């Protein structure tokens, strides 16, 4: 692999940097988008149970907020009622929606960067190939080192094509993982939205009671 990188010339180094960055982003997203950190399955039922009669204490709300992304959204509803027990339904929903938007932004973090790598890597590979071809044919002048030698010319072309191949090797997995994470985030956002709607109705009923 090192010999291929050396043979492909300097245009391949931006691709190497893209590959390292893509691996780091994929690893980070796998860790950050675990279900336990976003929407634990039983958390909503537990929040409904603990607030069946009244809004829980601030300590319990803080613990819920630190539990997960869903916990942050649910805790924002509790905090709205704690700060103003007579707050309107619109204010309650607005508070939860504001927190939900912040959570959604955090879930989508780095996805644009991964999509950019998937789009740019083939172009960087093509650029490296074009630069390599220019250098190869530029060396075919009379008296050049590779002039009139088809074997050396073929070798030079194969080396130039390494850039295109390397660009595709980076872009294809990056695109696959971007689509995977995009779908995963969309599923989480739908789960959070449905849970928040159910919880908001519960809090409105609790406030009226």
The count of C-alpha atoms lying within 13 angstroms of the C-alpha of 64, restricted to the half-sphere facing its C-beta, is 27
Number of domains in the chain: 1
Two tokens, residue 31 = 């860790």
pTM, two decimals, is 0.84
Rounded to the nearest 10°, the torsion over CA 82, 88, 92, 98 is -120
- 22 and 174 Cβ atoms separated by less than 8 Å: yes
Q: What is the tens place of the pLDDT at every residue in 69-97? A: 999 999 999 999 888 888 888 999 999 99
On the question of pLDDT at 184 being above 70, the answer is yes
**68: phi then psi, degrees, rounded to nearest 5:** -170, 180
> Exposed, middle or buried by CB within 10 Å (0-12, 13-18, 19+), for 34?
exposed
Q: What is the tens place of the pLDDT at every residue in 36-70? A: 999 999 999 999 999 888 888 889 999 999 999 99
Residues 6+ away with beta carbon under 8 Å from 129: 160, 161, 163, 164
pLDDT for the residue 134: 78
How distant, in Å, are the alpha carbons of 81, 84, 89, 128, 190 from that of 56?
A: 10, 14, 19, 61, 26
What one-character-per-residue DSSP string does 30-43 give? HHHT-HHHH--TTH
Domain enclosing residue 125, as ranges: 2-208
């Amino acid at each position: 692999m090192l010999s291929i990188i050396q043979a492909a010339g300097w245009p391949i180094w931006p691709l190497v940097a893209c590959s390292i960055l893509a691996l780091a982003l994929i690893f980070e997203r796998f860790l950050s988008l675990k279900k336990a950190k976003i929407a634990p399955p039983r958390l909503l039922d537990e929040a409904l149970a603990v607030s069946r009669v009244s809004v829980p204490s601030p300590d319990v709300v803080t613990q819920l907020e630190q539990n997960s992304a869903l916990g942050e959204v649910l805790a924002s509803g509790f905090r709205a009622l704690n700060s103003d027990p007579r707050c309107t339904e619109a204010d309650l929903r607005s508070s939860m929606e504001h927190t939900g938007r912040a959570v959604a932004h955090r879930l989508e973090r780095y996805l644009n960067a991964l999509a950019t790598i998937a789009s740019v890597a083939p172009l960087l590979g093509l650029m490296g190939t074009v630069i390599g071809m220019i250098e190869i044919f530029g060396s075919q002048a009379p008296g050049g080192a590779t002039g009139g030698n088809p074997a050396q010319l073929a070798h030079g072309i194969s080396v130039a094509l390494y850039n295109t191949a390397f660009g595709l090797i980076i872009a294809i997995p990056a695109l696959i993982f971007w689509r995977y994470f995009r779908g995963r985030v969309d599923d989480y956002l739908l789960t959070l939205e449905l849970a928040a709607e159910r919880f908001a109705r519960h809090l409105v009923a609790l406030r009226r009671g």
